Amino acid sequence: MKNNFVKINRTGPVLFSDYKENSALKKAVRMSRNDILFELRESGLKGRGGAGFPVSTKWMLTAATNADKKYLICNADEGEPGTFKDRVLLTEYPELVLEGMIIAGYTIGAQEGIIYLRAEYSYLIEFIQSKIDEMHKSNLLGKSICGNKDFEFEIKIFPGSGAYVCGEETALIESMEGNRGEPRNRPPFPVNTGYLGYPTVVNNVETLAAIPHIINNGGEWYHKFGTDKSTGSKLFSISGDCKNPGVYELPWGITIKDLLEIAGAEDTKAVQVGGASGICLPESQFSKKVSYEEISTGGSVMIFNKDRNMLKVLKNFMEFFVEESCGQCTPCRIGNVKLLEGIEMIEKNEYSMEYINKLKELGETMKVASKCGLGQSSPNPFISILDNFKDEIFTKN
């Protein structure tokens, strides 16, 4: 019942496909950096943490910058409710993640890689550290990696201290510098001025795990999966009212209906895609496709059946944001509380539609005025659940 790192037999088009350990790393350090960037661009890989920024652009900007030091950070601060794919990757496919980090470091010219591991996953530190130590022994980390005399790379683990907002890349960097995890002003972006002022690439665990496969099979191969704008595959963390919750690797472009079938869900009323900061889809929209261009997500899929109270779901999400907001900027700090208060009014049946609409307008402002992604997406569940389930929620008893 305790720490369970048993590798389940998973199948999937990319990440869960067969992989010979260290094969990509050995290949990569013999490629030129430009060739790697080329493959990456061909692949069309976008960040898998939820924001979806083109990875090749990020790496290219950092690689092109002149600096004494550069850093590569693996964002393992998986805090989005309903997401647990990174935990699975770190426990069952650590070699993919670590090799992805080393290849990234090689490409951008970094000497140090840091895994920012959320405090809640601190029980994984010993395990991951042992993998790092193994790689050291096999000359896959340290100096002259795989015989390439010019390339040296170290990986350290930096444990977080319990803050969802530190999943945001500049808040993460602030946390690593010993400060409160409050996001920074952007620009300048981390690729230009990041950790300690040096160019820094922050990538999600899943993004890095895809790198070895892209190196081995080429960018064009990766591009074949998914849709035109959302290439490759995505790990979906499916949980909630379904028979088979778990992590599934599926190509982008899959519909919600397909997801529900795979997970064995019945009598589904609502699907929350993208975690607490995502949107909630009613049955009428289950034919929508999951992709960056349609329903974008970091992979969290929470399934709610007909018996669940959607107002309670919404309240839970807004309470989450009130607790996790860093408090730095006005719209998020106070706005989330106002949205939660609105929900409490609805619960007590002491509301007016006029005020609820005002709150929705406030939500629209928060989406464009907040300093970071937390405040920019916390109104999403508020607006989508109140819109899509208005019949259920706004019945005056």
Partner 1 sequence: MNDIEKNIRNEFIEELIRIHGCERTSLLPVLQEFQKKFFYIDEYSQQEIADKMNIHPVEVHSVITFYAFLYEKPRGRNTVRICKNIVCDFHGSNIIAKALMEELNISPGETSNDGRVTLELINCFGLCDKSPSMVVNEDVYENMDKEKALNIIRQLK
Partner 2 sequence: MEKELRSPVSQRPQEIRKYDSNSGIGAEVTIELNGEKLKVPMGKSILEICRENNIHIPTLCYHEDLCIAGNCRMCLVEIEGMRTLQTACSYPVTTPVKIKTFSNKVRKARRHVIDLLLSEHYGECYSCIRNNNCELQTLAREYGVDSYEFGHVCEPRFEIDNSSAAVIRDMDKCILCRRCVRTCIDLQEVGVLEAVNRGYDTKISTFLDKPLADVICINCGQCINRCPTAALHANDPSDLVWKAIEDPSKHVVLQTAPSPRAAMGEEFGLPAGLSMTGQLNTAVKRIGFDKVFDTNFSADLTIMEEGTELLNRLKKALVDKDDSVKLPQFTSCSPGWVKFIEHFYPEYLDYLSTAKSPQQMFGAIIKTFYAQEENIDPANIVTVALMPCAAKKFECNRPEMNSSGFKDVDYGLTTREMAKMIREAGLVLPDLPKSGFDDPFGEASGAGLIFGSTGGVMEAALRTVYELVTGRPVPFSNLNIDACRGVKGIKEASIKLENCKEDFSFLEGVDLKFIVAHGTANAKVVMEMLIKGELKDYHFIEIMACPGGCIGGGGQPIPTSEAIRKLRAKAIYAEEANLPVRKSHENPKIKYIYDKFLTDGPCGKLSHKLLHTKYIKRGKYIN
For partner 1, the closer CB: 63 or 263: 263
Residue span binding partner 2 (CB under 8 A) among the ranges 5-13, 206-214, 359-367, 386-394: 359-367
139 binds partner 1 (CB under 8 A): no
* Residues between 219 and 238 that touch partner 2 (CB under 8 A): none
Residues across the chain: 397
For partner 2, the closer CB: 10 or 33: 33
123 binds partner 1 (CB under 8 A): yes
Least separation, in Å, of the C-beta of 193 and partner 2? Answer: 5
What does each C-alpha distance from 197 to 68, 127, 191, 225 come to in angstroms?
11, 31, 10, 37
156 binds partner 2 (CB under 8 A): no
What b/e sequence results for 299-327 when a residue is b if at least 16 CB atoms lie within 10 Å of its CB, and e otherwise? bbbbbbeeebebbebbbebbebbbebbbe
- Taking the CA atoms of the chain, what radius of gyration do you get in angstroms? 21
2 binds partner 1 (CB under 8 A): yes
308 binds partner 1 (CB under 8 A): yes
- H or E segment to which residue 293 belongs: none
- The Cβ-side half-sphere exposure at 119, using a 13 Å CA radius, reads 10
Residue span binding partner 1 (CB under 8 A) among the ranges 11-19, 60-68, 144-152, 153-161: 153-161
192 binds partner 2 (CB under 8 A): yes
Q: Site size for partner 1, by CB under 8 A?
A: 53
3 state SS of 175 = helix
376 binds partner 2 (CB under 8 A): yes
56 binds partner 2 (CB under 8 A): no
- H or E segment to which residue 30 belongs: none
C-alpha to C-alpha distance for 343 and 355, rounded to whole angstroms: 11
Neighbours of 295 (CB within 10 A): 18
3 binds partner 1 (CB under 8 A): yes
**Which stretches does DSSP call E strand in 169-245?**
200-204, 233-240
Answer for which of 362, 385, 386, 393 binds partner 2 (CB under 8 A) is 362
Nearest to 74 by CA among 187, 180, 237, 207: 207
* Residues between 323 and 352 that touch partner 2 (CB under 8 A): 323-331, 333-338, 341
Hey, what are 189's tokens?
Answer: 């972006």
What spatial distance separates the first Cα and last Cα of the chain, rounded to whole Å? 45
3 state SS of 314 = helix
Residues contributing to the site for partner 1 (CB under 8 A): 1-4, 78-84, 86-87, 118-123, 158-164, 175-181, 196, 237-241, 245-247, 302, 304, 308, 312-313, 316-317, 320, 323-324, 326
Residues contributing to the site for partner 2 (CB under 8 A): 64-67, 163, 170, 174, 177, 179-180, 184-188, 192-193, 197, 199, 322-331, 333-338, 341, 358, 361-362, 365, 367-371, 376
